[in-house]
Amino acid sequence: MAGRSHLFIPGPTNTPHEVLSAMHLPMEDHRSPTFPNLLKPILADLKKIFRTEAGQCFVFPATGTAGWEIALTNCLNMGDKVLIYRFGQFGHLWAEAAKKLGFDVEVHQVEWGKGIPLDHLEARLKEDKNHEIKAVLATHNETSTGVTSDIGGVRKALDAAGHPALLFADGVSSIASIEFRMDDWGVDGAISGSQKGFMLPAGAAILGFSQKAMAAIETSNFPRSFFSLKDMAASNKDGYTPYTPSTPMLHGLRKALDILLDEGIDNVYARHHRLAEGVRRAVAAWGLKICAQPGFESDTVTAIVVPADKDARHVISTAFNKYQISLGAGLSEVAGKVFRIGHLGDMNDVSLLGAIAGVEMAMLDNGFDIKPGSGVAAAIEYYRSTAE
């Protein structure tokens, strides 16, 4: 089929040509005296994205999922109790990963469409008089439902309870896209991945750790090798890594950081909010609802609920096969009930208008009772009225 395919899933996201070009280079000696000139500035600039001055940032040749394991096994001990709220597929998977690693995982079920219930969390922490809970695992942006939780509020709950637990935040689909303030929110372990807001291929776990978390490494009894933060920190100090890194990925990350910092991280947040709001207005114009309940709407992905007599998988299939558009599928409890439009990374107004138009055509082909052009028109009016 003529023309390009269009990627509107919440990750992997579109990789800018400048980033792809930066990655297309000959292999190099990662033990050379000039290699620190690449790695050290990357680690310093990542702190600007994570919004931390006191913390340390790391890049592992891995994934965001591996980042969960890195945080857990470096900062905690075998059998420690961790608390997590399950309100989507990725919170579920994080809880399952912790169970497989031998942690005592306290899971609280939350209606999918909502985020972390801060009142419940504070009350539960106050109940924990003996401080058996050693870490709170907080999913900042639940990609499966398009829900964003208040991580600053989680920190306030911990502080109000006078609880010393570590705060780990899954920011895989939020960091470098949605407001994230590691120091201000008292996040001890911030976990992200290369393939979303950083606009790179999958293959890098990008992490930030507080000094409290780094100190906890000294008392952790987990066996570690490849995922050892202590080994990574020791090598990073001199601008190297303890094993062979993915040098193309690092060059791509260097260019992605340049793009993000040139735009300005606050402008990146504002752009994502504006693009997301245009999508939400399109959904409202179609007469449909989003999965996220008011106050929990994500600025990186919108999960759209289809009518009870429709199957979201048919919309996704039509969009892909007929219009060359990739949309996100509903996962687990919302399979067939929602489809997702990812609007993060290298996106602008026209990008999203193309997605909205393609979705409209796919829905009309599947008998949805919507007015042709209604969603596009709503988004156009919003983007026009807010364009600078």
Which two tokens mark 266?
A: 């606050």
Distance CA 223, CA 34 (A): 33
Of the CA atoms within 13 Å of residue 77, those in its CB half-sphere come to 10
**Residue 4 clears pLDDT 90, i.e. is over it:** no
Residue 237: partners with Cβ closer than 8 Å, 6 or more residues away: none
For the stretch 195-253, pLDDT in tens is 999 999 999 999 999 999 999 999 999 999 999 999 999 999 999 999 999 999 999 99
Measured at the CA of 77, the angle between CA 72 and CA 81, to 5 degrees, comes to 75
CATH class of 17-262: alpha beta
pLDDT digit string (tens) for 315-341? 999 999 999 999 999 999 999 999 999
What values do phi and psi take at 256, rounded to 5? -60, -40
Within the chain, strands assigned E span 6-8, 56-60, 81-86, 104-109, 133-139, 141-142, 147-148, 166-170, 189-193, 205-209, 289-290, 301-305, 325-329, 338-342
Residue 294 structure tokens:
């008011």
Q: Dump pLDDT digits (tens) for 346-369.
A: 999 999 999 999 999 999 999 999
Contact between 257 and 42 (Cβ < 8 Å) = yes
Return the CATH number of the domain spanning residue range 6-12+265-386.
Answer: 3.90.1150.10
Cβ pair 311, 166 in contact under 8 A? no
Round to the nearest angstrom and report the end-to-end CA distance of the chain: 36
CB 304 within 8 Å of CB 338: yes
Domain ranges of the chain: 6-12+265-386, 17-262
Q: Is residue 267 a contact partner of residue 260, using CB atoms and an 8 Å limit?
A: no
Residues 328-353 as b or e (16 or more Cβ within 10 Å = b)? bbbbeebeebbbbbbbbbbbebebbb
pTM of the model: 0.97
Look at residue 261 and tell me whether its pLDDT is greater than 70: yes
Q: Indicate the helix (H) or strand (E) that contains 167.
A: strand 166-170
Cα-to-chain-centroid distance, residue 20:
21
